[in-house]
Amino acid sequence: MKNHRSPQEVNAGSMADIAFLLLIFFLVTTSIENDTGLNRSLPPDVSDNIVDIKEKNLFEISINNADKIMAEDDIVDSKNLRDKVIAFIDNGGISNGNEAFCAHCKGNRLANSSENPDKAIISIKTQRNSSYPVYVSVQNEVIGAYNFLRNRESLRLFNTTYETIYSDYYNDEISEDQKKILKERLEVIRALYPQKILEPETVNN
Amino acid sequence: MIKFNKYRSSKSLPPVSTASLPDIVFILLFFFMTVTVMKNQNLLVENTLPTATETEKLDKKDRVIEIYVGKPTSEAKTNLGDEPKIQMDNKFITVDEVGDYALQALSSMPQHLRSVATVSIKADVGVKMGIIEDLKSQLRMVNLLKINYTTYEGAVTDNL
């Protein structure tokens, strides 16, 4: 009698409940972490930071308490900001023959805009009631402008984008020798378009 | 209709097998286990980050100091009002204390990571620049100059 009975099936119905319990536990104790952002370096805390900057080499962006963005005495839309910054950095206004002449610049070479990318300085001013997302947008557009120019030069010189070089450099799977080459390339491009972003202290008026 | 009823009464359908349900749930479980990380801080402030396109990946977790800025959440704001607050180390701190707490976090890091420490500012979209400027000047005072405005990926037009 016993031998003829087929083996009894194990009831797996509660398995789903157990898995659900585990799932809910993980949903509660973990969070999806966000780990991207805009990297910036603050200037060191020294008081003797009076530098002589020619007015034409300074691109002033201000955000007022009503979140309006002003660049070079004009109210601008955040969409046009990047193009304006690119035009300013890439202007290369100094005349050919001068030692500071910018050969790789493709700008309009206007006399009243920046002399060369090394001298071009972007200043971002905010007021206490400007909102943070607008400030982040402005930072993003300025960094975007630099990235655009760096990508252009990187494509011209090394046939890859700046972003690929940068991400390869921080990739752990790449050998030390290759990293050396990548580092040199990064430095060449950074020297062509150094990021110079000023953030003066907030003025209350 | 009559024919159908006749068919059902004579020969009942076999039950739907739920044997694959645990497998489906396990797949979901493994998905969540891989994409999420354990919470190390209980958020006491509202924290919807702004969006940006030119983002870079944040450094490894062991060299990052996190600062949250935002309005206290409804559970936390018993008597704190509506003004944006700074959260570090699972509690609210004032702007003047930021430097001390940042240095404390720095000193708990291994020696070789201290020079590459990054401060990740996770500020809510409703925050004004005043508190951010104060925060930045505090960080400058303790010489923590590498900062990261942590954002979501997305078009900047979502910010306005």
Which is nearest to A138 in space by CA: B119, B129, B67, B130?
Answer: B129
**Nearest-angstrom CA–CA distance, A169 and A181:** 9
A29, A126, A141 ranked by CB distance to B156: nearest: A141
DSSP summary character for residue B130: H
A114 touches A59 (CB < 8 A) = yes
pLDDT tens for each residue of B24-64:
888 988 888 888 877 777 788 888 888 888 888 877 778 88
> Which residues make Cβ contacts (< 8 Å) with residue A152, sequence separation at least 6?
A106
**pLDDT for position A20:** 87
> Taking CB atoms and an 8 Å limit, are A44 and B139 in contact across chains?
no
**pLDDT for position B74:** 77
Please give the residue of chain B at the shortest CA–CA distance from A23: B29
What are the backbone angles phi and psi of residue B72, rounded to the nearest 5°? -60, 140
Measured in angstroms, the CA of A92 and the nearest CA of chain B are apart by 25
For each successive 10 residues of chain A (205 residues), what is the average pLDDT? 68 81 86 80 69 78 87 84 87 76 80 81 87 90 90 87 82 81 86 82 51
**Residue B74 CA, distance from chain mean position:** 17
Residue type, A132: Y
> Taking CB atoms and an 8 Å limit, are B137 and A140 in contact across chains?
no
Please give the residue of chain A at the shortest CA–CA distance from B127: A132
HSE-CB for B63 with a 13 A CA cutoff: 16
Per CB-CB distance under 8 Å, the chain B contacts of A26 are 29, 32-33, 36
Query: How many CB pairs below 8 Å do chains A and B form together?
Result: 169
DSSP string for A79-134: HHHHHHHHHHHT---SPBTBTT--TT--S---TTS-S-TTT-EEEEEE-TTSBHHH
Please give the residue of chain B at the shortest CA–CA distance from A43: B145
**Nearest-angstrom CA–CA distance, B117 and B112:** 10
* Residue located via tokens 């990261």: B148
Per CB-CB distance under 8 Å, the chain B contacts of A12 are 19, 22
pLDDT tens for each residue of B78-131:
667 778 889 888 888 888 888 899 999 889 888 888 888 889 999 998 888 889
A31 touches B39 (CB < 8 A) = yes
Measured in angstroms, the CA of B39 and the nearest CA of chain A are apart by 5
Residue from A137, A164, A167 to probe the interface with B (highest B Cβ count within 10 Å): A137
Alpha helix segments (H runs only) across chain B:
2-10, 21-35, 98-107, 129-141
Please give the residue of chain B at the shortest CA–CA distance from A201: B133
B120, B129, B152 ranked by CB distance to A127: nearest: B129
SS3 content of chain B, % helix, strand, coil (to 5): 40, 20, 40
A165 class by beta-carbon count within 10 Å (0-12 exposed, 13-18 middle, 19+ buried) = buried
